[in-house]
């Protein structure tokens, strides 16, 4: 929810698949959204016929992503302002499907690392999104029950993951990779942009 990452991940995965002699298809990125690194690298090996072992695939994708991000991190509009305003009110956690090196690189390059008390990669839990594991782990590291946490998500599997964890969920849909209507129904509220994401937005309604 910080970076315009899906288009970058799609480009890198497609590039690697084609170069390695695999078979990319236009729905592949959507199918991999939310998967942990173990899951999507296995998917690329088995479903996209990439002739590399999953661990090699994951490492190659991370290397290419690091190159892209070092050239410039595509932060979403108003993402930094939203994070800074929320961090001034509550402890923040980042529950991401990205590999740990990518999480740390992005937060370091953007200067946002000090604003997150906790960061969790789905490669550190048994299952990626839409399973609740990464959000449950984030809540646990914050020392909070999931019911006291709010998740901000933009993807189908992210919304499902946070909802399954028992959190309140705010959806900020992306026009290029919109959540499914069924997933949006699970969200507690919907925002049109990160400009609307303020501490006041997240305060529970009276009564």
Please give the DSSP secondary-structure letter assigned to residue 155: S
pLDDT score of 130: 96
The C-alpha angle 50, 55, 60, rounded to 5 degrees, equals 70
Produce one character per residue of 31-61: b if its CB has 16 or more CB atoms within 10 Å, e if not: ebbbbbbbbbbbbbbeebebebebeebbbbb
**How many domains does the chain fold into?**
2
99's enclosing H/E stretch is none
Task: Mark the ranges of the chain whose per-residue pLDDT is less than 70.
Answer: 204-207
CB-based contact 113:107 (threshold 8 Å): yes
pLDDT score of 207: 45
The model's pLDDT over 124-158, given as tens digits with 9 standing for 90+, comes to: 999 999 999 999 999 999 999 999 999 999 999 99
Q: Is residue 207 part of a domain?
A: no
Same domain, 84 and 49: no
Q: Is residue 152 part of a domain?
A: yes
pLDDT score of 6: 85
Return left, alpha or beta for 80; rule: phi > 0 is left, psi -120 to 50 is alpha, else beta.
alpha
Contacting residues for 141 by C-beta, under 8 A, at least 6 apart:
93, 118, 120
Q: Is residue 18 part of a domain?
A: yes
Same domain, 10 and 100: no
Both tokens of residue 130?
A: 């839409």
Distance of alpha carbon 2 from alpha carbon 80, whole angstroms: 8
Boundary residue ending a domain (49, 71, 93): 71
Range of the domain at 171: 79-202
pLDDT score of 205: 55
- Counting beta carbons within 10 angstroms of the beta carbon of residue 71, is it exposed (0 to 12), middle (13 to 18) or buried (19 or more)? exposed
CATH number where 67 lies: 1.10.150.240
pLDDT score of 9: 94
């Amino acid at each position: 929810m910080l970076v315009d990452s899906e288009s970058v991940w799609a480009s890198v995965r497609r590039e690697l698949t084609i170069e390695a002699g695999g078979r990319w298809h236009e729905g592949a990125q959507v199918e991999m959204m939310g998967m942990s690194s173990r899951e999507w690298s296995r998917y690329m090996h088995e479903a996209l016929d990439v002739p590399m072992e999953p661990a090699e695939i994951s490492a190659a994708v991370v290397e290419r992503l690091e190159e892209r991000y070092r050239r410039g991190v595509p932060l979403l509009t108003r993402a930094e302002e939203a994070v800074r305003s929320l961090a001034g009110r509550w402890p923040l956690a980042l529950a991401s499907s990205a590999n740990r090196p990518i999480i740390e690189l992005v937060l370091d390059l953007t200067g946002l690392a000090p604003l997150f008390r906790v960061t969790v990669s789905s490669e550190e839990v048994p299952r990626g999104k839409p399973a609740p594991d990464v959000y449950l782990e984030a809540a646990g590291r914050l020392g909070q029950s999931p019911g006291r946490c709010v998740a901000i998500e933009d993807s189908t599997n992210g919304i499902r993951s946070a909802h399954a964890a028992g959190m309140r969920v705010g959806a900020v849909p992306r026009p290029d990779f919109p959540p499914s209507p069924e997933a949006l129904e699970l969200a507690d509220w919907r925002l049109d942009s990160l400009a609307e994401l303020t501490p006041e937005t997240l305060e529970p309604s009276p009564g």
